Amino acid sequence: MPRPGKNSYSDQKPPYSYISLTAMAIQNSAEKMLPLSDIYKFIMDRFPYYRENTQRWQNSLRHNLSFNDCFIKIPRRPDQPGKGSFWALHPDCGDMFENGSFLRRRKRFKVLRAEHMTCKSSPMMHYFHHHHHHPGTAPPNVGRLPHFQGYGGITCAQPGGFKHPFAIENIIGRDYKGVMASGLPLTSVMHHLGYPVTPQLSSMVNSMWPHVGMLSESMGGVSVPASSEYAPFSVSAKGLYHNANGQTLPAVPVPIKPTPSLGPVPGLTGLQSGPAQICSPGVIMQPLLPSMILCLHNTGVGCLWNHNIT
DNA sequence: ATCTGTTTATAAATTG
DNA sequence: CAATTTATAAACAGAT
């Protein structure tokens, strides 16, 4: 047909929307999540069209990432440093392009929620970064998950907009809001999402955060009693961790109760301080949430790592 | 400085 | 056609 352009076929704009291109990139990845730069790379690698005007389309793509609920942001673990977060597909977004058109979805995926507040980060705990130590081990929740109803229709903010200074969202990191508001026990949420919740982990979670044992919707609301049994959260999120040099670290280690059942390992000291210890031998890292990692040492001493909290 | 990420605004394209 | 979805631009905050 009349081909006005002088571009070769491969240089033509691919018939895919940014959403589909991004989804392709993410699904193509082993862990079903990619940092922004790798999404760029994926697209540029296979579509020559996008090797030009990068400024333009990358801005559009970033816009799509944060604008569309079908993409969720997963904080990096402190032991996997790098720029930006990982991006994944919301597990509930299903087959957005089942109609065969990658240009336009049949309908926009929107996270169910109460009118006002947007809390896109609420379902963030669907994915956890996995260690690469065991290549055979797949990420716990890649792709389809049974629907998780917990955070549907959750009020994330008071209609009035006023937020008590001790409102949970002012105390804890934003990423926790969804969990906090889910109305479910954290461990059951984790289990439901396919995360292996061992009895040991479960009891530990419950002993560390009794109040989390029953996540209540009200915790996502306005105020938290001043007395607040939520102290552990406020400590870990509010408190800033200063190392010996007086630097403020992005993560706040919170000592937790030792578990006597585990014996000490010779030659290793307990976890007391900074990030350096995280990857030491004898340390088990249990991602509880993408931005919350439980580090357990064989000695039974542990750390709760909160990161991405500012 | 550059890269990420969020947000608002507006135009264009597609569908029913 | 109107409603919805996508594309682009741009301002801006934060992080590295």
- What CATH number matches the domain at A18-101, 3.30.70.580, 3.40.50.720, 1.10.10.10, 3.90.650.10? 1.10.10.10
pLDDT digits (tens, 9 = 90+) for A170-193: 223 334 333 333 334 455 545 444
pLDDT digits (tens, 9 = 90+) for A12-33: 899 899 999 999 999 999 989 9
Distance A167 CA to B16 C1' (A): 45
Q: For the whole model, what pTM was predicted? A: 0.49
Length of chain A: 310
CA atoms within 13 A on the CB side of A260: 0
Selection from A176, A47, A86 nearest residue A123 by Cα: A176
For residue A135, name the pLDDT band (cuts at 50, 70, 90): very low
pLDDT digits (tens, 9 = 90+) for A201-219: 665 555 544 333 333 322 2
A83, pLDDT greater than 80: yes
DSSP-derived secondary structure for A174-207: GGGHHHHHS-S-HHHHHHHTT----HHHHHHHHH
Measuring alpha carbon to C1', the residue closest to nucleotide C4 is A107
What token pair was written down for A73? 């942001």
Residue type, A216: S
Measured to protein CB atoms, the chain C nucleotides within 7 Å are 4-11, 14-16
Residues 143-182 of chain A in contact with strand C via CB under 7 angstroms? none
What token pair was written down for A251? 């993560």
Measured to protein CB atoms, the chain B nucleotides within 7 Å are 3-9, 14-16
The ranges assigned to domains in chain A are 18-101
Distance A87 CA to B6 C1' (A): 15
**Strand pairing report for A283-289 and A292-297:** antiparallel
Answer whether A147's CB lies under 8 Å from A192's CB: no
SS3 state at A295: strand
Distance A33 CA to C5 C1' (A): 24
The H-assigned helical ranges of A68-215 are 168-171, 177-181, 186-192, 199-208
